Structure 1
Amino acid sequence: MRPGLAKLIMFFLIFCGVNLYSQDQVTADSLEMVYSKTNLPAAEKLKVLYYIASNETDPSTKLRYSQELIKLSKETDSLKYLGYGIYERGNAYKLRGDFGEALQNYFDMAKIANSLDSKRFLAVANLSVADVYSKMSNLEQAVKYYDESIKTFRELSDTSRTASALFNLGDAYLKNDNPNKAFQYFQESQKLFKSINDTMGVAYNKGSIGVIYAIRGENEKAEENIHQAVETLEKLELFDAISEYLSDMSDVYENKGDEQKATDFALMSLDIAKTYGFKDQISKADLQLSRLYENAGDIPSSYQFYKDHIHYRDSVSNVAMVQEMEGLRADYEIAQKQMEVNLLNEKQKSQKIAVLAVSTAGVLIALLAFGLYRRNRFIKRTNVIIEEEKNRSNNLLLNILPEETASELKENGHVRAKKFENVSILFADFQKFTHYAEKLSPERLIEIVDYYFSAFDEIMDKHGLEKIKTIGDRYMAVAGLHSAGDEDAYKLVLASFDMLEFVENAKENQQFPDTHFDVRIGINTGPVVAGVVGTKKFAYDIWGDAVNIASRMESSSTAGRINISEHTYALVKDRFICKYRGEIEVKNRGFLKMYYVNGIKPKQASTS
């Protein structure tokens, strides 16, 4: 290793210190350069990987370096750095809004803390668990874990982490509409942050106190505090906090009646949140913009932002995740109690070991003989179960991937993206979905949507078409991915008429008296790229300009109608009755030619 690089590494390791909270993107960038250009010994590599992961502010990059740290920690049998890696991986998931994954990592970190007998490490784990519960608006569990961590940090005279925990507890109360109690904790944490010259902590405090001033209607104080917070956080490149406080600035200007500035700040917040993948902040900004555009009379934009808000809100805070998180918490607490019981049992057993040793050996010999006999029977049964599970997994794979793609995935372990030149894409969307979604219970809404989408799936199977996915109340399907015939666009339009007929029959038969859905459909034909996204919970998807135009065809359609582009029209005009709508302006596309498909031409009707 070159002497200059060695000195740089030692500077960071000596002067940065081990802090499980600070983030400094400049430090991370510098160390990434060192790490990529230097062949470090394993011990130094562990330290450098930890400092990169802990200081990195981009969640995807933080996750990548955390995974590297975990892998190297296991290879070198370093339990301490394994705990650090799992902790930073949890932080990366928390930044992305994947709270279930974050919680699992923090509980795993707590188990390592117990193995290391480290009170400080366990307190950090408890604080992180509390932060996740706070994000999920579970105040009761958040307060429980905050109190445990604060108590330990005070015992250890750890001023920095005590201040951080007090601030986060105040933030939990603020999120749960108790600004007065939040203000008390912010004032206490502010004194501690100032006493240790913690610039980042002071900035966070200023921003949150600014939010409270905004709630109280003291807009000038709110604006001053939040503006100062954003200035400092921008220098530190803490973009998740910047996005949140820009959103708070939007609220301040909305309260002052300056809706243009409010919209500008909300758009800036959304842009940062989307850039770095902060799901909960994307949801919040979308909701703000929906409200602002509604006030401005721009109903289409308001509706789109509200749909985006619902999508991201559900991806961050859904019933399944809440249940999963409660299960993780229960598992962790049961494991803690079990450790205490095991310890007590061990003390009692130590008095009886001598007496039981001989009899235990005899029992073990008998069990071994009996075990050998049962082993052969078990192997036979296991082979049958394995074969059944293999068939089951194959069927599940074919249920989410085309057969050709599933075979490639099983054979190679990955799927290579492929380009298809002439694919027809269908989007279908329920009108008034948001209106009914706000009035119906989640269980009732899911029952109704499942009824329609299951029928659409059967229609696709009937015509030999491929369903791609559902996005909220939108249904997406294609024709021509794994066939090269001239019938693809024709089949997709036929399927569209079947979908319209099914929806209309459901209304006439009063299948769901509390809802009266209408569906609009859009179709386009063109080149796409298809492949599998991700390595966990992967999904088959398609991309390309043709997909975007198909989406625009759907949004430009009307209830009970099939709207097609000029590319699809050229393929089906001889077989369907089509009406030219003219060139219609669509968002980000200019003017596009569109056609309504009104029915099947008589000759085709007799043969279809």
Structure 2
Amino acid sequence: MTWHNTFYRKKAWLTLGFFFIIFLSSYGQTKVVGDSLELLFTQGAYQEQDKLKILKELAVTHSDVEKRLLYSELLIQSAAALDSTDYLFQGYLEKGTSLRVKGDLANSLESYFEGARIAEKEGNNNLLGKVYIAIADVYSIMGNHQNAVKYHQNAIRILRQENDSISIASALLNAGDELINVNRLDSALKYTTEAEIIFNLLDSKVGQAYSLGNLGMIYAKLGLDLKAEYHMNQAILILQDLHEYYPIAVYLTYISDIYLEKGEEKLAMNYAKLSLDLAQKHGMKKQVSDAYLTLSKIYEHMGNSEEAFNNYKNHIAYKDSVNNITSVQQMADLRTDFEVSKKQIEVDLLNQQKRTQQIIVIATAIALILICLLAFGLYRRYLYIRKTKRIIEKERNRSDELLLNILPKETANELKLNGKVAAKKFESVTVLFSDFKAFTQYAENLSPELLVERVDHYFSHFDQIMERYGLEKIKTIGDAYMCAGGLPFPSHDHSIRMVRAAMEMAQFVEDTKKKNQSHQFEVRIGIHTGPVVAGVVGTKKFAYDIWGDTVNIAARMESSSEPGKINISENTYQLIKEEFECEYRGEVEARNKGMMKMYYVLATKKSADPVSN
């Protein structure tokens, strides 16, 4: 297996988060400062106005991830108590980062999303762009590359508007990093090259190092080994000065793979051993495991099966310790068995060749078993992820259906896309109000359950009528029912459709009264046409509503109507007079509106054209 085939396995452990780049270059200095700040904080030797600043520095710079998590939570509590939005955002940001490092990805995302809500509420695009990068990194670790790419691209779009060079460069680098995961190498090369240019202009050493290293990995994927080797060597030189050893160990392993691909086993061996020594010195178990695997491939390539087997077993042992797998003890038993076999080989020289062949067979069998176990585990994980995705998709569809029951489709789509809905003015909208005569006295004689059942019987049928005529139900208030035509999509015949719907409503109430003596409701209906403003109100429970004098006049038309009648204004009459026979009532006093011309709708004219629903 060539080194290109192991690219994704190693690559996933080198994903670079935005905040790691921002703070890494000053970590050597801030660690000492952080230790001093912790001493000041625990002793209470600080001014009260400096408390939030100290907690923020500790949450960022402390070397212990558990302490960073503790200080970020204290920062959230203190910032909330002092109503400090900036520090509250920083608290959620650092809490998310600490949880990500600990591997608690679900709670990490929750914390980052809380930070994003704060940034959106404050209208701070710079902070929003930064937290989007952090969210994208978590999605990348989870293997959700589609969401990771989306959030990276949103971060780049936002940060370009803010002219924050270091943030833009970090977003570009991370986006390029994620595009490698989905094998979009041209885009990855473009983003990473732009990030390198910005880091060079800013003289950011750590940014330059990771840009060079990532370019090396892209060139390696493209099969350009010389370019890959050159860029990774340049990255290693910079990282040595920064004392950042984990990425150095990763890049050394890559270079070893390149030389092995070329057939230069000695150079490959040297680089692999350098990576192993560095990883062991600094306790980096994952990279120790990868280094042993690389050495195993080198020895296998050289024909030394015994050493290949030894290094492969070490690779498995370290790999299992990283993943907390209980088979570490089993591998120790295997190692003991091999030593016993080795001593037996030394004793029985005459059977050396036979014993060696047996060991190779055993090693091959063990490798096959481990590969089968790994394949089985990956398959179970695939089934779990697929099941989880189906559940999430089902819940997403359910949420969309609930949202469409509350808001018009166009408005719901705008809310999902932008997180808010802009208010819109409509120049011509027909508004209908209806209520039931003497509802209060009638309700006093019914149980609450029966009252709700009766009202629901009518309103459910009204909803069906609105849907049939392409009208929009706005809301119900007690026994009042309110709807509108001509929004969210303007139309030329909304007033005609509204009057026809009103006639069906009145007829339904009358038919119900005749069929069932227990249903004695009588409906009054009022209609007016004019301009309104429409929009969504609320942040927890959304409601689509309309405002304007047109709404008030429609309500007056209803209150001035009579049971079983449809009372319309002069504006509405002028729009529907060719379609319906109407009775002029004269000018009628309307509360707070003075004298207004009103008409009763009597019937549809026989020559009227049908209205499209």
TM-score by length of 2: 0.46
TM-score by length of 1: 0.46
Structure number, greater radius of gyration: 2
